[in-house]
Amino acid sequence: MKKKLKKIPKFKNEDEDREFWDTHSSVDYIDWSKAQHIVFPNLKPTSRSISIRLPEYIISMVKVEANKLDIPYQALMKQYIAKGVLKK
């Protein structure tokens, strides 16, 4: 027997929307068996600037490596950090 889904209410703003979903389960409103996986390739993750103190020799080594790869050294540092954090 198929479960009857409830109708999702209309929300006046994002805060009202957030409060509703904090106290309700989406299972009662959405048939997740029909969900499809999609990818948003053009979305860019938000980023913010940080300050980090590194020894001069490390910065110099990264700059040399980045120059060999023809990419900005900050981009290479981001790649190194991401590899370290996301390794599985």
What tens digit of pLDDT does each residue of 1-37 get? 677 899 999 999 999 999 999 999 999 999 999 999 9
DSSP characters for 18-51? HHHHHHS-GGGT--GGG------TT---------
Q: What's the total number of domains in the chain?
A: 1
CA distances from 88 to 72, 76, 79, 82, 85 (A): 26, 20, 15, 12, 9
Contact between 66 and 72 (Cβ < 8 Å): yes
Residue type at position 43: L
Q: What is the pLDDT of residues 30-81, one digit of tens each?
A: 999 999 999 888 888 888 899 999 999 999 999 999 999 999 999 999 999 9
In a domain, 75, yes or no: yes
3 occurs within a structural domain:
no
What pLDDT does residue 41 have? Answer: 85
Structure-token pair, residue 87: 């390794």
Cβ within 8 Å of residue 6, ≥6 positions away: 28, 29
pTM (2 d.p.): 0.50
Residue 58 lies in a domain: yes
Residue 59 structural domain: 14-86
